[in-house]
A and B are shown apart, each in its own frame.
Chain A
Amino acid sequence: EPEVTQTPSHQVTQMGQEVILRCVPISNHLYFYWYRQILGQKVEFLVSFYNNEISEKSEIFDDQFSVERPDGSNFTLKIRSTKLEDSAMYFCASSEMRHSNTEAFFGQGTRLTVV
């Protein structure tokens, strides 16, 4: 069964450092997303990406964040200068069509710990 793959599963980084979280969405999907879940809190939308550009982003997704689809298979989330409050589980998701028309498939997540 096709699945969304995320690497690494756990990343520890020093405050102020840049991190790149990687995702391989399902191959025929067109919409890509990043969500995050701070420990014990709800899952929050960060950004959606379609046709090689950001289609929507949340207030959380400020200038420190960027996304990229550098080739035909990877989808990355970069945090330029990490803060302690960026510590969370980051989930990548993909879907064939928009959320309201089709199922979104989530990866297993990358646990980011900023120290």
Chain B
Amino acid sequence: QQQVKQSPQSLIVQKGGISIINCAYENTAFDYFPWYQQFPGKGPALLIAIRPDVSEKKEGRFTISFNKSAKQFSLHIMDSQPGDSATYFCAPVGGYNKLIFGAGTRLAVHP
């Protein structure tokens, strides 16, 4: 019930393109859905998060779409830039006070 499935494992996007990363979960007790960004040699850092009472949240070029009935949420990066090249993790929370990390998506944005 704690399982979180993230896809794709890796993603290559051209500069200016849209990056889309998906996360599917099983635990209906999750009540907070963050995406973390991790650069090499650094710890994960919160990028954007959503609560289940809304279906979409946008912050600059980053958007989370949330589908409660399908138990899925996704990260969209508009106008992707080389500086966005990093590993992205979905890490929903709920019930217990711990982040349940997906396997990660390695994004490479080519100029």
Q: Given A99-B93, A100-B32, are A43 and B44 also a contact pair (CB < 8 Å)?
A: yes
- Contacting residues of chain B (86-105) with chain A, CB-CB under 8 angstroms: 89, 91, 93-94, 96-104
Tell whether A55 is near chain B: CB-to-CB under 8 Å. yes
Q: B43 contacts which of A55, A58, A103, A108 (Cβ < 8 Å)? A: A108
What is the interface of chain B, defined by CB distance below 8 A to chain A? 31-32, 34, 41-46, 49, 89, 91, 93-94, 96-104
Q: A100 contacts which of B46, B97, B103 (Cβ < 8 Å)? A: B97
CB distance from B17 to the nearest CB of A (A): 26
CB distance from B11 to the nearest CB of A (A): 17
Give A109 to B44 CA distance when docked, in angstroms.
Answer: 10
| Residue pair A56, B98 in contact (C-beta under 8 Å) | yes
Closest chain B residue to A111 by CB distance?
Answer: B41
Q: Given A42-B103, A43-B89, are A91 and B97 also a contact pair (CB < 8 Å)?
A: no
For B46, list chain A residues within 8 Å (CB): 103-105
Closest chain A residue to B31 by CB distance?
Answer: A100
Give A93 to B101 CA distance when docked, in angstroms.
Answer: 14
For A33, list chain B residues within 8 Å (CB): 98
For B34, list chain A residues within 8 Å (CB): 103
Give A63 to B42 CA distance when docked, in angstroms.
Answer: 29
For B44, list chain A residues within 8 Å (CB): 43, 91, 106
CB distance from B65 to the nearest CB of A (A): 20
Tell whether A45 is near chain B: CB-to-CB under 8 Å. yes
